[in-house]
Every structure is written in structure tokens, then in C-alpha cells.
Amino acid sequence: MKYKTAGSMRIPDIGLGTWGIGGDHELDDSHEKEEIDLIKNALVAGVEHIDTAEYYGQGQAEKIVGKAIQYSERGKLFLTTKVWKDNLSYEGVISAMERSLQRLGTEYVDLYLVHWPNPDIPLKETMNAMKQLVDMGKAKHIGVSNFSLQQLKEAQQYYTIAAHQIEFNIQHQEPLREMIPFCQKQDIMTIAYKPLGRGRLLDDPRLSALAQKYGVTNAQIALSWLVSQENVVTIPLSRSLVHVKENLKSAELELHKEDILSLTKSS
Ligand SMILES: NC(=O)c1ccc[n+]([C@@H]2O[C@H](COP(=O)([O-])OP(=O)(O)OC[C@H]3O[C@@H](n4cnc5c(N)ncnc54)[C@H](OP(=O)(O)O)[C@@H]3O)[C@@H](O)[C@H]2O)c1
């Protein structure tokens, strides 16, 4: 596995997303056993970063992750979870973290993110609680997700922002205009979500051409392009162990500079 660092945070290039595990907007525990097995097997295959959120399946995703990680060495895992936008008051953040830690069966997360901004709650109040969680040892690093540049700059005034999780993929390159260069300058890690556009970008002919050239899959080209960018890591979701292994391998793939640029330019 390859890693990137931002400040004191070291994070694997390729992790595993969990949106849809344990349900999406609603809880669905009907596949619990298969989903625990999937994550256990993904860890054995070499996944070292799991991205989840209290919102996913209304806590069920965290519960499944918690059950799966009991079988692995906590120190080797980078665990990210997120506080939902309804819980961004000071007390709301502190108690949301308590519930998340309980479901995850761990004493700390490596990265705690504000999932979405909430203009109705002062960001300063939210960030004070996030800082408190670091002081309590419950979060190693703090970050945000889906913030505008202005919101990100405001958050930075209150505490060190280690990461910004945003949608970024070969068909959604808008963040390269302002957000990613800003994060690179500020040493904030960009965590690219929907790196495969939920699977919809995989038939992009630009990927097929490069996949043929390198003898890899379209998904591997799409992921490799992402992590070839400075300060960018990603968290593809897959329910297939074959795909999970394939995605992990994309971190080792070194695309030539002109091929990276061809995907960047022709978006
Ligand atoms: N912060 C936020 O607001 C936010 C928003 C969205 C997502 N996220 C996070 O980002 C993670 C990733 O995003 P996402 O789940 O929305 O979408 P995604 O990772 O872009 O796409 C997932 C889809 O890609 C397919 N796939 C994965 N690897 C593949 C491969 N090697 N070959 C072919 N198909 C492959 C999967 O199907 P198979 O299961 O068949 O492999 C699945 O249908 C989420 O799970 C979540 O943790 C965060």
C-alpha cells in the first residue's frame, strides 16, 4: 500500500467506502452477515482505510464496520467517520461521536469529518467540539466534507483541517480549478468520493484506451489518475472482493505523465 501525508496524518492512497452498507438513507440489516464478511475479507486483502458515517444506514454501516474490525489490529487501520449535519451543535457533536465510537467498538477514530455544512449552526461552535474530541483522544484528526472554499477557510480559523472529502473523479474535475490547489497549498488531504461515479464512468472510452495500453482495468485507470494527484487519496466502494483487490492494486500503477494529463485535459 502507498500512503500520503498531510501534516501529522498519514493515510492510505486507496481505502474502502461504505455508502449503502447496512442500508442507505434507511437502516437495512438484512445483509448484515455478508456485509461483515465483505469488510473482514477486504481487511485481509489489504484495505487499511475504511470510510463510514453515522448517517449511512442510520448507524448500521458503523455497526457493521465495528463488528468487522474486531478481527483486525486497530493500530493498522485508518478509520474515518462523519457527524451528520443535524448534530453540529457543541453537545450534538460530542454525543454523536460517543454513539459512533460505541457502534464502531473502538476508542478513537483516525479522522472525524463534518459530513455537510449546516448554515443554521455557527461553524465555530461545531469546530470547538471537534477540537475537544481531539483533546479527549477520541479523534486523531479533524476534517470536513462538501464545504465551499469559503467555508473551508472559515473552518481553518478554528482548528487544523487535515482533510476535505469531496466528489472528484475523471468526469467531475471541477475541484481541480480552485479547491484542490488550495488544499495542496494548505497541506489539506483531498479524499475523493464517488471516484468511479458510482460505476457510471467506467465505460468512458478514454479509460478503455489507457486500460488496454497498461493491461489493467478501466477502474484501475480511473483510481490511479486520482491518486497520481498531489495530496489526493480515495475510497472506492465495492461489494465484490475481486473488485476490492483490483482497486487496491491501482495504487501501485504508475501512469505516465502524458497519460495523466490526457485524462485531465480532455475532461
Ligand atoms: N462525504 C460524502 O458526502 C460522500 C458522498 C458519497 C460517497 N462518499 C463515500 O465515498 C465512497 C465511494 O463513493 P460511492 O460509493 O458513492 O461510489 P463509487 O466508489 O464511485 O462507486 C461504487 C460503485 O463502483 C463499483 N465498483 C467498484 N470497484 C469496481 C471495479 N474495480 N470494477 C467495476 N466496478 C467497480 C461498485 O460495484 P461493485 O460493488 O459491483 O464492485 C459500486 O457500484 C462511499 O462509499 C462513501 O464512503 C462520501
- The pLDDT > 70 percentage for the chain reads 99
> Is 181's pLDDT higher than 90?
yes
> Is 202's pLDDT higher than 70?
yes
The pLDDT of 115-135, averaged and rounded, is: 98
pTM, two decimals, is: 0.98
Closest residue to atom 37 of ligand 1, CA basis? 238
To the query of whether residue 193 is one of the catalytic residues in this protein, the response is: no
206, part of any domain: no
263, part of any domain: no
90, part of any domain: yes
The pLDDT of 45-56, averaged and rounded, is: 98
Q: What is the pLDDT of residue 71?
A: 78
67, part of any domain: yes
Closest residue to atom 21 of ligand 1, CA basis? 198
> Is 2's pLDDT higher than 80?
yes
The pLDDT of 28-56, averaged and rounded, is: 97
Q: What is the pLDDT of residue 246?
A: 98
Ligand 1 and 245: CB distance under 6 A: no
The pLDDT of 10-25, averaged and rounded, is: 98
218, part of any domain: no
Spatial separation of the C-alpha atoms in residues 117 and 248, rounded to whole Å: 31
> In angstroms, what is the span from residue 196 Cα to ligand 1's centroid?
6
Closest residue to atom 5 of ligand 1, CA basis? 193
Quickly state the pLDDT bin for 265 (edges 50, 70, 90).
confident
**Integer CA distances (angstroms), 214 to 63, 96, 209, 229, 246, in order:** 39, 45, 9, 19, 14
The pLDDT of 178-182, averaged and rounded, is: 98
Instruction: Name the average pLDDT for the chain.
Output: 97
Residue linked to cell 448500521 = 60
220, part of any domain: no
Ligand 1 atom closest to residue 199's alpha carbon, by position in its atom list: 24
Ligand 1 and 246: CB distance under 6 A: yes
Q: Which domain holds residue 117?
A: 3-200+231-238
The pLDDT of 129-157, averaged and rounded, is: 98
The pLDDT of 72-77, averaged and rounded, is: 95
DSSP string for residues in the chain: --EEEETTEEEESB-B--TBTTBSSS---TTHHHHHHHHHHHHHHT--EEE--TTGGGGHHHHHHHHHHTTS-GGG-EEEEEE-GGG-SHHHHHHHHHHHHHHHTSS-EEEEEE-S--TTS-HHHHHHHHHHHHHTTSEEEEEEES--HHHHHHHHHHS---EEEEE-BTTB-GGGTTHHHHHHHHT-EEEEESTTGGGGGGG-HHHHHHHHHHTS-HHHHHHHHHHTSTTEEE----S-HHHHHHHHHTTT----HHHHHHHHHT-
224, part of any domain: no
Count of domains observed in the chain: 1
Quickly state the pLDDT bin for 124 (edges 50, 70, 90).
very high
Q: What is the pLDDT of residues 82-104, one digit of tens each?
A: 999 999 999 999 999 999 999 99
State the catalytic residue, choosing from 3, 55, 56, 71: 56
Q: What is the pLDDT of residues 225-244, one digit of tens each?
A: 999 999 999 999 999 999 99
Q: Are 240 and 196 in contact (CB under 8 A)?
A: no
Q: In 3D, which of 241, 244, 240 has the Cα closest to residue 220?
A: 244
Please report, for the domain that includes residue 114, its CATH number.
3.20.20.100
> Is 267's pLDDT higher than 60?
no
Q: What is the pLDDT of residue 43?
A: 97
123, part of any domain: yes
